[in-house]
Structure 1
């Protein structure tokens, strides 16, 4: 796992700032590659499942079944398959882009280990994790009570169903695996590219916006425009906190730990109260 050389924003000013005309195209390529890789992997998985399911139904029916009847019987993929495909498509994309586009140098890895020995790194991670949960909770509560918005995350039903059927695997996925690959992709690959080029605030804004759109894409989440925009703002704020703690500590393990803590609290609240913030 990788990090950038400077542990705090104070050292950013000592770096040369690269022109945006050379930085933004690289950032755009990262985003385009992430979309293409994750979407194509997910589609391949869904097509594979549909073909396998179709063969099963055809064998049960005997002979050559009617195409429309077969399509109606396909149904939807099981929840475990959807969770695994999310892990493979997004997690695989994060790993590929990290190794291909943003692999850590030996000096960066050494600096990361040094910062893990600093107690302040873990204090900042703890503060960021709790702050992220409180931010999303308070924002969601305000949006529901004052604006009457539907702020249930699009993936909440999948999480509830997955936890009911496969509690240990869902907990591992939501609390550990998802934070690992999301921080690798959104903070190391996307945010750190602009940070290292001398544009940390622009990197924070753009990477957080991409992070938010991945979670709530307008037109595809089945929610009204107002609810979608509010959810995007909440997710972007969460991404901004993770990017900030990465920049503050200089180690990617800090936002990973903060993300893990946020998800663990949210999952615990979901199980106790049957509802959770974003």
Structure 2
């Protein structure tokens, strides 16, 4: 995530973009900056000086598009990294991860797990809210600013709904959990769950995403196919993305 942001920043600067992927502050901070700009403009006008440039308060959509395109490229790189690190052909790797089959009758299991994941996340939010620890409330890592532009929204949707479920499950459950599984289920699930939660870079998501990571490892271990964690991940992201975009 950090490397992706650094690369995206470099690309944005090379394209002479004002790299802003989030709005400036809340409504009150925006109002304060507008008021300050009005004062500066009035003062410049009274002195006959050139008028100052208006403040940039909203996220730059071109920068957001660059960020998500770079993320998509990094997701493709993850697939290559997993393939190279395992030393298997695409066919052999697919078979080892159970990607050559899908058990449709058992598909209810990851769908039911999504429900419990949201219930658990809601319980966590209520718990930290009662304690008054607002920084431990989970926050979306996808900026709501993407909803202002159809192209940005489309690119973000592809990355979030297609790229993330496949590549993250391939890496965290296929490579990390699979690699540590010789130590037993719980150590492997804990390691992959911790890494999965930390990579989202949100303090409030660490606990719920760790639990979700363990649940995803259990789905993979129980079913023998990576399609179940991928299905869970897709539905979970689809619900969250829909709430963000249309809620």
TM-score by length of structure 1 reads: 0.62
User: What is the aligned partner in structure 2 of residue 247 from structure 1?
Assistant: 221
User: What is the aligned partner in structure 1 of residue 70 from structure 2?
Assistant: 85
- Which protein has the larger Cα radius of gyration, Structure 1 or Structure 2? 2
Deviation at residue 51 of structure 1 after TM alignment: 2.6
Task: Indicate yes or no: 2:168 matched with 1:205.
Answer: no
On the 8 A contact 1:163/1:171 being kept in 2, the answer is: no
SS at match of 2:225: coil
Query: For residues 154-194 of structure 1, what are the alpha-carbon distances to aligned partners after superposition, in whole Å with 9 as ceiling and x for unaligned?
Result: 624x2x11133233332232222211111111111111111
User: What is the aligned partner in structure 1 of residue 85 from structure 2?
Assistant: 101
Structure-2 separation of matches of 1:177 and 1:113: 16
Once the two structures are superposed, the pairs formed by residues 40-119 of structure 1 within 5 Å of their partners are 43-53=6-16, 78-89=63-74, 91-102=75-86, 103=88, 106=92, 109=95, 112=98, 115-119=101-105
SS at match of 2:222: helix
On the 8 A contact 1:133/1:265 being kept in 2, the answer is: no
SS at match of 1:78: helix
Deviation at residue 97 of structure 1 after TM alignment: 2.0
Once the two structures are superposed, the pairs formed by residues 143-222 of structure 1 within 5 Å of their partners are 143-150=128-135, 151-153=137-139, 155-156=141-142, 158=143, 160-165=144-149, 166-195=152-181, 197-216=182-201
On the 8 A contact 1:128/1:258 being kept in 2, the answer is: yes
Report how many residues are paired. Answer: 201
Runs of 4+ in 1 over 4 A off after TM superposition: none
- What RMSD, in angstroms, separates the aligned Cα atoms of the two structures? 2.9
Structure-2 separation of matches of 1:242 and 1:171: 22
Structure-2 separation of matches of 1:155 and 1:134: 19
User: What is the aligned partner in structure 1 of residue 212 from structure 2?
Assistant: 238
User: What is the aligned partner in structure 1 of residue 30 from structure 2?
Assistant: none
Deviation at residue 114 of structure 1 after TM alignment: 6.6
Higher relative contact order (CA 8 A, sep 6+): 1
SS at match of 1:194: helix
On the 8 A contact 1:135/1:238 being kept in 2, the answer is: no
Deviation at residue 83 of structure 1 after TM alignment: 1.5
User: What is the aligned partner in structure 1 of residue 230 from structure 2?
Assistant: 256
1:267 to 221, 241, 247: 241
On the 8 A contact 2:110/2:231 being kept in 1, the answer is: yes
SS at match of 2:15: helix
